[in-house]
Structure formats: structure tokens, C-alpha cells
């Protein structure tokens, strides 16, 4: 099974693609979709859509996990991230792929066993679970991989609760 994980953002959207076979994870690719801050928002969203579509076409994931927007104080940031997230969700839906959405505490819990883990703990577990020599950089790419791992864990138990 091949899973794409996404950490939405307008400046950088982190992504990670993992293959899972018999419960073993392998990192296929990871990175970020970056958009220039001075570019108008419609063009930034268009770039995010186009690059995600290219990733889907090239790597053919079976399903996609995406982080939910979670901002307590900065409403402006939440709105712009929400715009990017909407573009990502639409692109995934247009590709006909199943989507799972996860809050930051769910992602932390699925990857580390502790829903209040800090970023360094999540990155260390991503590195260990994927048997990587180095921690994925930038942080958004590691977060994309964490979302993919989370999606696998939730997806495999989904049918038990239907």
C-alpha cells in the first residue's frame, strides 16, 4: 500500500510518501511544495494544486492523509492554511483517492504514543519508523511523513468500526 501524507500550508506544504508492506514502512519520497511569499494568493494556490497533481500522477498513492487546521490564536494564518488545505482536498478528491483527516494530537499519538509529544519527538520517531539515516528536512516534510504513518494506522482499523 502506498500512502501520501500532507501537512498543509501556503508558504510550504509538506509531503511524504510511504509504502507499507506487512506493517513495515519504507519512505518513497518526501519534501515540500514551496510558494514565494510575494506571489499573489491565487497563483500560490494554483502552484500547490499543480505540484500535488504531479506528485499523485508520478507516485500513484492508494490513499491520502492530511493534517487538519489547528491554530488557537492566529486567525489570519488559519484562514490562509485553510485555503491551501481546500485546494489539496479538492485535488485529492478529483483524483478519486480516499482521504483521512487527522488533528495534530492524533498524529502525535499515532507516531509517538503520546498526543502531546513535541516536534523533536515526532521527528525522531518518523526517522526510526522509516529507518532513515537522518531526520527529514525541512520540518514540514517530516510532518508529511508523520501524517502518512498516521493514516496507515487509522485506515487499517477503519473497517472494524463500520
Cα separation, 116 vs 109, in Å, equals: 7
Instruction: Classify 160 as helix, strand or coil.
Output: helix
pLDDT, tens digit (0-9, with 9 covering 90-100), for 79-90? 899 999 999 999
Residue ranges of the domains in the chain? Answer: 2-161
Q: Give, in order, the Cα–Cα distances in Å from 12 to each of 7, 19, 32.
A: 9, 23, 6
| Residue 139 known to be catalytic | no
pLDDT, tens digit (0-9, with 9 covering 90-100), for 62-102? 999 999 987 666 788 888 999 999 999 999 999 999 999 99
| Residue 140 known to be catalytic | yes
Q: How much of the chain, in percent, has pLDDT values that exceed 70?
A: 96
Say what the pLDDT of residue 71 is: 67
Q: How much is the pTM?
A: 0.94
Residue tagged active-site, from 67, 101, 133, 162: 67
Residue tagged active-site, from 7, 19, 57, 162: 7
Half-sphere exposure of 114 (CA within 13 A, CB side): 8
Low pLDDT (below 50) residues in the chain: none
**Helices (DSSP H) in the chain: which residue ranges?**
41-59, 75-94, 104-112, 119-129, 139-158
* CATH architecture of residue range(s) 2-161: 2-Layer Sandwich (3.30)
Residue tagged active-site, from 68, 101, 131, 140: 140
| Residue 7 known to be catalytic | yes
Amino acid at each position: 500500500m502506498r500512502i501520501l501524507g500532507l501537512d498543509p500550508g501556503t508558504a510550504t506544504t509538506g509531503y511524504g510518501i510511504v509504502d507499507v508492506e506487512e506493517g513495515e514502512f519504507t519512505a518513497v519520497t518526501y519534501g515540500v511544495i514551496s510558494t514565494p511569499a510575494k506571489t499573489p494568493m491565487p497563483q500560490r494556490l494554483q502552484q500547490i494544486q499543480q505540484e500535488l497533481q504531479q506528485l499523485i500522477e508520478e507516485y500513484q498513492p492508494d490513499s491520502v492523509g492530511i493534517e487538519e487546521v489547528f491554530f488557537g490564536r492566529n486567525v489570519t494564518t488559519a484562514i490562509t492554511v485553510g485555503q491551501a488545505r481546500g485546494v489539496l482536498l479538492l485535488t485529492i478528491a478529483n483524483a478519486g483517492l480516499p482521504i483521512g483527516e487527522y488533528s495534530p494530537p492524533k498524529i502525535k499519538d499515532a507516531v509517538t504514543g503520546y498526543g502531546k509529544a513535541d516536534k523533536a519527538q515526532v521527528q525522531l520517531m518518523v526517522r526510526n519508523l522509516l529507518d532513515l539515516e537522518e531526520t527529514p528536512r525541512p520540518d514540514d516534510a517530516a510532518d508529511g511523513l508523520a501524517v502518512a504513518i498516521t493514516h496507515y494506522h487509522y485506515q487499517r482499523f477503519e473497517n472494524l468500526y463500520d
